[in-house]
């Protein structure tokens, strides 16, 4: 009996060990799928384009993703409650449904963040990036030394709000953005960290607003334009509303820009022919062609896998087709823009790297009412941050892309200074 008991115990221990290995492998597979969902998306587009499981809907085809995002009256943004936590009470227009308040606030901010400012923003971004590249000694961490630093500097200059430090501003934006847009499990630690960062950011912006008003100086920057509207008696431009609109714009400007730069460069580094062509475009000053290389590279690993919505009522997506699926009221919906940009039903040769794709193939900035507010700035600044680096024609990978949470934390490269000059 003693022998049999020992044999049974050994067998149970071995089984537990095997089960542990299986669970560990499953966990690794889940983690890999979260970071690299392309294979899963490819299967779903063919087998179950609109997957509905436990009141969660995953929409994977191009046309269906755009249908979801264009029906903002049905599929509503999810950010409102968390946005009010970040602002300390009021909503920011990104978390609002289509409403008079939404139209008012977006109109105000478009009047102070102007498309005609793009030439100045572009010049500032490229000059700042070039200075960093030229002073780095031919070796840098693209994330910490370049893609987080440049947007932090132009925000301070363009918005007219100088942060305690560029690192602090980037850190605030990263943790707040994670809480608002990627923390689907409502991790308590993420929430606590974001709320602490938001309190610090609010105090900083309150101080910037108070100091500018006390100084009585008129400056043509975003804060100065907001205060000019306030002096004119424009509704919705009190100090608190200005603060909330500024924090909403600023927190999204750094982490997403940095991630797009790192992801695009990482994709190019894995494609020697495309990397060489992109470097030649950068060095020759062909900004339009260079941008096409950057955004095509980003298509293979974009800023996020999709956009999240809540169904406000029962709605049938792709009605009249074989894939038609009714999404019930209250369902959490993932409109998988990453999958859409690889949809073989809509894009020509989606697995090929091509720079001749029409602009409508891309959904880097989302789609519909809540398309990224800063899309025109991002279209310019992301390539211009990378341009001076790639214009050296000598960029080589010196380390793998590392990720912490939803954002890249490191991507080391080396290059030869003086190899080529940007125009």
How confident is residue 295, by pLDDT bands cut at 50, 70 and 90?
Answer: very high
The residue behind tokens 């470097």 is 279
Q: Does 206 have pLDDT greater than 50?
A: yes
Query: Given the DSSP bridges, would you call strands 56-59 and 139-141 parallel, antiparallel or unpaired?
Result: unpaired
Q: Give mean pLDDT, residues 292-301.
A: 98
Yes or no: say if 234 and 109 are a contact pair by the CB < 8 Å rule: no
Q: Give mean pLDDT, residues 27-42.
A: 64
Contacts of 189 (CB under 8 A, 6+ apart): none
pLDDT reported for residue 35: 61
Q: What angle do CA 345, 38, 308 make, to 5 degrees?
A: 85
Tokens (6 digits) for 8 = 């049974």
Q: What is the mean pLDDT of the chain?
A: 89
**Which residue, among 247, 200, 203, has the nearest Cα to 223 in the 3D structure?**
247
The residue behind tokens 């799928």 is 33
How confident is residue 374, by pLDDT bands cut at 50, 70 and 90?
Answer: confident
Distance spanning both ends of the chain, measured CA to CA: 85
The residue behind tokens 């179950």 is 48
The residue behind tokens 């009996």 is 1
pLDDT reported for residue 195: 95
Yes or no: say if 142 and 261 are a contact pair by the CB < 8 Å rule: yes
pLDDT reported for residue 38: 87
Alpha carbons 22 and 353: distance in angstroms, whole number: 36
What is the longest distance spanned by two Cα atoms in the chain?
93
Contacts of 317 (CB under 8 A, 6+ apart): 50, 57, 59, 64, 67, 68, 324, 325, 326, 327
Q: Coil, helix or strand for 85? A: helix
CATH class of the domain comprising 39-414:
mainly alpha
How does pLDDT run across 97-150, given as a tens digit for each residue? 788 888 888 898 999 999 999 999 999 999 999 999 999 999 999 999 999 999
The residue behind tokens 């074989």 is 322
Q: Does 423 have pLDDT greater than 80?
A: no
How does pLDDT run across 58-96, given as a tens digit for each residue? 999 999 999 999 999 999 988 888 888 988 878 777 777
Q: What angle do CA 67, 70, 75 make, to 5 degrees?
A: 85
Q: Does 230 have pLDDT greater than 70?
A: yes
pLDDT reported for residue 229: 96
Q: Does 5 have pLDDT greater than 90?
A: no
How confident is residue 9, by pLDDT bands cut at 50, 70 and 90?
Answer: low
pLDDT reported for residue 10: 52
Does the predicted model carry a pTM greater than 0.85?
yes
pLDDT reported for residue 23: 41
Yes or no: say if 291 and 122 are a contact pair by the CB < 8 Å rule: no
Domains of the chain, residue spans: 39-414
Higher pLDDT, 316 or 24: 316
pLDDT reported for residue 96: 75
């Amino acid at each position: 009996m003693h022998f049999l008991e020992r044999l049974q115990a050994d067998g149970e221990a071995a089984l537990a060990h095997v089960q542990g290995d299986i669970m560990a492998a499953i966990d690794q597979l889940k983690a890999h799928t979260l970071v690299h969902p392309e294979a899963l998306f490819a299967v779903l587009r063919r087998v179950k384009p609109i997957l509905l499981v436990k009141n969660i809907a995953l929409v994977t085809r191009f046309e269906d993703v755009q249908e979801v995002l264009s029906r903002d009256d049905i599929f509503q943004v999810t950010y409102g409650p968390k946005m009010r936590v970040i602002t300390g009470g009021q909503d920011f227009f990104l978390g609002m449904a289509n409403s008079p308040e939404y139209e008012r606030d977006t109109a105000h901010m478009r009047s102070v963040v102007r498309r005609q400012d793009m030439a100045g923003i572009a010049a500032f971004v490229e000059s700042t990036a070039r200075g960093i590249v030229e002073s780095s000694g031919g070796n840098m961490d693209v994330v910490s030394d370049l893609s987080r630093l440049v947007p932090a500097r132009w925000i301070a200059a363009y918005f007219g709000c100088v942060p305690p430090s560029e690192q602090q501003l980037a850190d605030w934006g990263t943790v707040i953005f994670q809480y608002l847009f990627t923390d689907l499990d409502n991790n308590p630690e993420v929430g606590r960290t974001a709320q602490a960062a938001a309190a610090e950011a609010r105090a900083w912006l309150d101080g910037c607003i108070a100091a500018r008003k006390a100084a009585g100086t008129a400056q043509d920057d975003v804060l100065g334009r907001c205060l000019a509207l306030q002096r004119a008696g424009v509704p919705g431009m009190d100090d608190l509303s200005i603060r909330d609109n500024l924090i909403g714009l600023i927190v999204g400007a750094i982490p997403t820009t940095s991630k797009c730069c790192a992801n695009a460069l990482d994709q190019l580094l894995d494609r020697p022919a495309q990397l060489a062509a992109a470097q030649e475009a950068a060095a020759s000053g062909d900004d339009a062609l260079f941008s096409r290389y950057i955004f095509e590279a980003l298509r293979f690993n974009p800023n996020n896998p999709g956009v999240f919505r809540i169904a406000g009522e029962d709605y049938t997506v792709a009605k009249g087709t074989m894939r038609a699926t009714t999404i019930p009221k209250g369902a959490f919906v993932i409109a998988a823009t990453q999958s859409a940009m690889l949809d073989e039903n809509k894009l020509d040769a989606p697995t090929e790297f091509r720079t001749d794709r029409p602009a409508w193939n891309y959904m880097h900035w989302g789609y519909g009412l809540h398309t990224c507010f800063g899309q025109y700035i991002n279209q310019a600044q992301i390539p211009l941050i990378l341009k001076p680096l790639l214009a050296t024609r000598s960029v080589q990978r010196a380390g793998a892309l590392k990720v912490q949470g939803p954002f890249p934390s490191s991507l080391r490269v080396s290059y030869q200074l003086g190899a080529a000059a940007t125009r």
